[in-house]
């Protein structure tokens, strides 16, 4: 009998490994073959890390206010546009992915595609500040086939411009995503702790799979707002985090790696007032902006886009620019972090992401308790730390160098720092970018002290 149970246990473990390897990916879940990105040439440099801002209030469309965009270290805006606004952006070195300039932007329903088919080389309105056009925000999967055709038409009739499609995050419901889960009984039986026992994750994987099977973009864009706050029963303010934040980014990052696309992440730079229930918190500190940026970078994000810059949703006082046109604490927090990121933006573009893994994940809290796709051992550094860490792994595009993103994943509520012993086998030199300052270290080892919500980028040559 004991032998029987040993064999049964081994069989179930083998099934777990098999299904994790074969079915853990977002690629190929739905019918069809994933499209590898064409990798087009654009009117802007997409080989480096880009910093963006979402929305702009045209009541503030004057030279002083637009100059603040560039001053904050923001490369481009996603915003409603007219000629005057584009002129101001061009004068201040700011790119624009425009809403409503060449055709009306859509939301969810991709039925109004006719104006996009009217675009031709003769009718397309170009501008030196124009990076592209906002096609649709958060479409349901039912429209992906139509959107794929529109994207192909757009690329064929423009030169160097990008048609932007932004996807829902994982917490979208089945109606928004446009599909329903079909989780086979044996997955639930043998994998009760995996993604396949979770209907929402299964739906989302199918959504992402549908996108990459039907739409040929060089990127996947998503907005994820993970930072929240609650009132305890005793009335105390408690910082909380969306529990599937990392899993959401991991699903998208894996799809990007498999299809040679860039990951664009619209991050939370705004929030609501507390009303006694769970809510999005103000992200008006460098710590909250920095944490989201470095977590996104660990999964290979090539664009970090702050939402909202000026107008949009949530409380206006929480945006980078408030309703009266004043710079807020959020503006200065984002500015601080933006220039930290720009210190290695060009270097970062020389590496390809190979995935991210958790170190001491169970210690962190609710936000890391989800399965992440495994990272090959050859890309992992040696980490010694008692703290929970997220470690993003990168490989050089043109040489055998490697790079890493190491992030302190203690929950903000704890305020805990992280002490880390880091080692990259075979490296002769490390460069550690911490809060915008590069430190060159001879050899392959270093010690890191990370503040709560802090991350660093490390190159190993």
* Fold (CATH) for 50-342: TIM Barrel (3.20.20)
pTM: 0.92
Share of the chain above pLDDT 70, in %: 88
pLDDT value for 275 = 62
Q: Which residues of 174-209 are buried (b: 16+ CB within 10 A; e: fewer)?
A: eebbbbebebeeebeebbeebbbebebbbbbbbbbb
17 pLDDT tier (thresholds 50, 70, 90): very low
Q: Is 31 exposed, middle or buried (0-12, 13-18, 19+ CB in 10 A)?
A: exposed
Let me know: does 417 contact 447? Beta carbons within 8 Å: no
- pLDDT tens profile 347-366: 999 999 999 999 998 776 65
- pLDDT tens profile 210-254: 999 999 999 999 999 999 998 888 888 889 999 889 999 999 999
CA 66 to chain centre: 25
Cα distance between residue 217 and residue 150, in whole Å: 11
Cα distance between residue 245 and residue 301, in whole Å: 14
* pLDDT top residue among 183 and 255: 255
Residue 294 has pLDDT above 70, yes or no: yes
Q: Please give the CATH architecture assigned to the domain spanning 351-460.
A: Sandwich (2.60)
pLDDT value for 9 = 38
- Domain coordinates of the chain in residue numbers? 50-342, 351-460
pLDDT value for 1 = 47
Q: Is 228 exposed, middle or buried (0-12, 13-18, 19+ CB in 10 A)?
A: middle
Going from the C-alpha of 312 to that of each of 9, 99, 317, the distances in angstroms are 53, 13, 11
319 pLDDT tier (thresholds 50, 70, 90): very high
* pLDDT top residue among 116 and 187: 116
- pLDDT tens profile 194-204: 554 577 888 89
Q: What backbone phi and psi angles, to 5 degrees, belong to 79? A: -160, 160
């Amino acid at each position: 009998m004991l032998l029987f149970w040993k064999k049964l246990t081994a069989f179930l473990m083998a099934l777990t490994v098999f299904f994790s390897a074969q079915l853990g990916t977002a690629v190929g879940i739905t019918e069809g073959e994933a499209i590898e990105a064409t990798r087009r040439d654009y009117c802007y440099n997409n080989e480096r890390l880009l910093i963006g801002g979402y929305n702009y209030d045209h009541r503030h469309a004057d030279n002083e206010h637009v100059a603040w965009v560039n001053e904050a270290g923001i490369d481009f805006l996603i915003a409603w546009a007219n000629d005057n606004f584009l002129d101001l952006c061009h004068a201040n070195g700011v790119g624009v992915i425009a809403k409503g300039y060449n055709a009306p932007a859509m939301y969810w329903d991709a039925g109004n595609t006719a104006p996009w088919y009217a675009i031709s080389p003769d009718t397309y309105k170009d501008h030196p500040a124009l990076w592209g056009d906002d096609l649709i925000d958060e479409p349901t999967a039912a429209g992906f086939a139509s959107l794929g055709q529109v994207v192909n038409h757009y690329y064929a009739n423009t030169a160097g411009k990008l048609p932007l499609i932004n996807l829902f995050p994982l917490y979208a419901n089945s109606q928004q995503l446009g599909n329903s889960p079909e989780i086979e009984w044996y997955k639930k039986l043998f994998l009760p702790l995996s993604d396949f026992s979770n209907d929402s994750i299964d739906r989302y994987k199918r959504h992402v799979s549908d996108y990459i099977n039907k739409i040929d973009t060089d990127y996947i864009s998503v907005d994820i707002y993970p930072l929240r706050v609650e009132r305890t029963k005793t009335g105390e303010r408690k910082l909380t985090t969306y529990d599937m934040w990392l899993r959401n980014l991991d699903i998208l990052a894996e799809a990007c790696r498999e299809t040679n696309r860039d990951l664009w992440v619209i991050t939370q730079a705004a929030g609501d007032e507390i009303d006694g229930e769970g809510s999005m918190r103000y992200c008006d500190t460098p710590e909250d902006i920095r944490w989201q940026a470095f977590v996104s970078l660990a999964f290979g994000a090539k664009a970090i886009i702050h939402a909202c810059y000026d107008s949009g949703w949530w409380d206006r006082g929480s945006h980078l620019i408030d309703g009266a046109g004043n710079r807020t604490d959020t503006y200065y927090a984002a500015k601080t972090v933006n220039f930290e990121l720009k210190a290695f933006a060009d270097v970062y573009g020389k590496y390809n992401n190979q995935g991210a893994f958790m170190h001491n994940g169970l210690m962190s809290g609710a936000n890391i308790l989800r399965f992440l796709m495994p990272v090959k051992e050859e890309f992992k550094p040696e980490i010694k730390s008692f703290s929970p860490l997220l470690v993003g792994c990168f490989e050089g595009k043109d040489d055998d160098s490697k790079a890493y993103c190491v992030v302190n994943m203690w929950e903000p509520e704890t305020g805990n720092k992280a002490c880390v012993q880091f080692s990259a086998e075979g490296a002769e030199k490390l460069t550690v970018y911490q809060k915008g300052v590069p430190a060159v270290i001879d050899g392959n080892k270093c010690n890191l002290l990370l503040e709560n919500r802090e991350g660093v980028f490390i190159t190993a040559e």
